[in-house]
Amino acid sequence: MTARKVVVTGMGVVSPLGCDLQKFWERLVNGQSGIRRIQSFDASAYTSQIAGEVVEFDPNAFVPRKEQRHMDPFCLYGVAAAKMAVADSGLQMDQVNGDRAGVIIGSGVGGLQITFEQSKVLVARGPSRFSPFMIPQMIMNILSGLVAIEYGLKGPNYCIVSACASATHSLGESLRIIQHGEADLMLSGGAEGAICELSLGGFCAMRALSTRNDNPAGASRPFDKDRDGFVMGEGSGVLVLEELEHARKRGAKIYCELAGYGRTCDAYHITAPDEAGRGAARGMSLAIQDAGLTPDQIDYINAHGTSTPLGDKCETLAIKAALGEPQARKVMISSTKSMTGHLLGAAGAIESVACVLTLKNGVIPPTINYTTPDPDCDLDYVPNQARTAKVRACLNNSLGFGGHNATLCFKAMDY
Range of the domain at 111: 7-249
Neighbour count for residue 414 (Cβ, 10 Å): 6
Is the domain of 238 the same as that of 347? no
**Catalytic residue selected from 159, 304, 314, 355:** 304
- Whether 196 sits among the annotated catalytic residues: the reply is no
Catalytic residue among 19, 75, 164, 196: 164
**Among 249, 272, 293, which residue terminates a domain?**
249
* Last residue within a domain, chosen from 191, 225, 249: 249
Contact 238, 81 (CB under 8 A): yes
**Residue 237, SS3 per DSSP:** strand
Is residue 50 within 8 Å of residue 60, measured between CB atoms? Answer: no
CB 302 within 8 A of CB 395: yes
The verdict on pTM exceeding 0.85 is yes
Residue ranges in the chain modelled with pLDDT below 50: none
Predicted confidence at residue 1, as pLDDT, reads: 60
Residue 256 within any structural domain of the chain = no
Q: Are 147 and 187 in contact (CB under 8 A)?
A: yes
As a whole number of angstroms, the distance between CA 225 and CA 338 comes to 14
Instruction: Note if 304 is an active site residue.
Output: yes
Q: Are residues 238 and 290 in the same domain?
A: no
**What is the model's pLDDT at position 164?**
97
Same domain, yes or no, for 207 and 324? no
Q: Do 204 and 88 sit in the same domain of this protein? A: yes
Any idea what the CATH number is for the domain that residue 152 is in? 3.40.47.10
> What local confidence, expressed as pLDDT, does residue 2 receive?
76
In the residue annotation, 164 being an active-site residue is answered as yes
* Same domain membership, residue 195 and residue 73: yes
From CA 393, how far away is CA 193, in angstroms rounded?
31
Amino acid at position 225, single letter: K
**Total of domains in the chain:** 2
Condensed to tens digits (0 to 9), the pLDDT of residues 97-128 reads 999 999 999 999 999 999 999 999 999 999 99
Residues 225 and 278 grouped into a single domain: no
Helix axes 347-361, 21-29, angle to 10 degrees: 80
Residues 212 and 371 sit within 8 Å (Cβ to Cβ)? no
Tens-digit pLDDT profile for residues 156-204 = 999 999 999 999 999 999 999 999 999 999 999 999 999 999 999 999 9
Angle, helices 142-151/73-89, rounded to nearest 10 degrees: 40
Whether residue 309 sits in one domain with residue 206? no
Residues 31 and 157 placed together within one structural domain of the fold: yes
The alpha helices in 90-196, defined as continuous H runs, are: 112-125, 134-138, 142-151, 166-179
